[in-house]
Amino acid sequence: MKLIAVGTVAFDAIETPFGKTDKILGGAATYIGLAAASMNIPVHLVSVIGGDFPQEYLDMMTDKGINVDGVEMIKEGKTFFWSGRYHNDLNSRDTLATELNVLENFDPKIPASAQDAEILLLGNLHPAVQLSVLEKMEKRPKLVVLDTMNFWMDHTWDLLMEMITKTDVISINDEEARQLSGEYSLVKAAKKIHEMGPQFVIIKKGEHGAILFHKGRIFAIPALPLEEVFDPTGAGDTFAGGFVSYLAKKGDFSFENMKAALIAGSAMASFTVEKFGTERLVEITEKDIVKRVNDFKELTTFDVVL
């Protein structure tokens, strides 16, 4: 199956307790594209960049099989820039700068070659932009996967609700699930979110793993315990990219296959955090992913006989 992913292609400047970077390649769509590429899944990115975006980054993506026809360059504009500093525990961070630049007036263009994509992944963006993408698809993709965040709940509630109504799979973190539903219990939160539209609710819990809810069924996984988390930037986007890539590979949207996709996504995200930005993700191959998935099996397999 073919993927289309809409999101940011950006510059990030990151500080962690282990060091800091200059402006490096970042953005949700970038991580999603690289995750798909590592699984050899055809993926079209839809995004916007400024004239300051290096051609070598676009070439790198193209070389990996990522289709960037939908990445519009606005020559006179500047690329979206985010800068942040992680705290010592790497679970929280301060945003030092957010320069929207060309993202401010992002008007996604869907290339004709991407119109037949079966899976649409809407990265974390203004819900009006996400809705406009759906409208621009000539026919609704078979599966619409939505990433969003608390900011849109605070500021664009009605538009976000409209978007969620049209969503098959929503991927949010535990605090966002609680805010969206008004329920503390994640089981109750997922039920309420199901009622809003999505048949599948993924709740991400960072170092504590993730939970998938579907019509009263639940699948939960721990995160792979890592000796060192170097830089968490992009972990959530890599997870989403790995998740949809596994679905695209199998062409199967059953609960059983979604479970496997959750593992694949988590395995891929566990690579991203090992180095700064996309450094680690660009290196990995399907063979590395298979090995990490086996680590997950080892981590979680048990046999109780009572």
Which residues lie near a second copy (CB under 8 A)?
39, 88-89, 184-188, 205, 208-209, 211, 217-223, 225-229, 246, 249, 256, 259-260, 262-264, 286, 289-290, 293, 296-300, 302-306
Using the minimum distance from each CB to a second copy, give the nearer residue, 46 or 202.
202
Q: Which residues lie closer than 8 Å to 305 by C-beta, 6 or more apart?
A: none
**Pick 39 or 71: Cβ nearer a second copy:** 39
Nearest approach, Cβ of 266 to a second copy (angstroms)? 10
CA distances from 286 to 12, 267, 298 (A): 26, 11, 18
Give the residue with the Cβ less far from a second copy, 138 or 228.
228
Residue 273 CB, shortest distance to a second copy, in Å, is 12
> Would you give the DSSP letter of residue 277?
T
Say how far apart CA 211 and CA 232 lie, in whole Å: 19
DSSP state of 24: E
Distance in angstroms between the alpha carbons of the first and the last residue of the chain: 43
Question: Which one, 151 or 184, has the nearer CB to a second copy?
Answer: 184
Among residues 48 and 260, whose Cβ is nearest to a second copy? 260
Q: Which is nearer to a second copy, 55 or 88 (CB)?
A: 88
Min CB(287)–a second copy separation in Å: 9
Cβ 230 to a second copy shortest distance, Å = 11
Q: Under a CB-based contact definition with an 8 Å cutoff, are residues 264 and 246 in contact?
A: yes
Question: Where does residue 87 rank: exposed (0-12), middle (13-18), buried (19+ CB within 10 A)?
Answer: exposed
Burial classification of residue 280, based on how many CB atoms lie within 10 Å of its CB (0-12 exposed, 13-18 middle, 19 or more buried) = buried
Shortest Cβ distance from residue 289 to a second copy (Å)?
Answer: 6
Minimum gap (Å) between residue 19 Cβ and a second copy = 17
DSSP string computed for 153-182: HHH-HHHHHHHHHT-SEEEEEHHHHHHHHS
Q: Please state the closest distance from residue 185 (CB atom) to a second copy, in A.
A: 6
Q: Select 116 or 256, whichever has its Cβ closest to a second copy.
A: 256
d(CA 170, CA 64): 27
Token pair 């991203």: residue: 272
CA 39 – CA 76 distance, rounded (Å): 35
Integer Rg of the chain from CA: 18
Please state the closest distance from residue 124 (CB atom) to a second copy, in A.
24
- Give the residue with the Cβ less far from a second copy, 99 or 207: 207
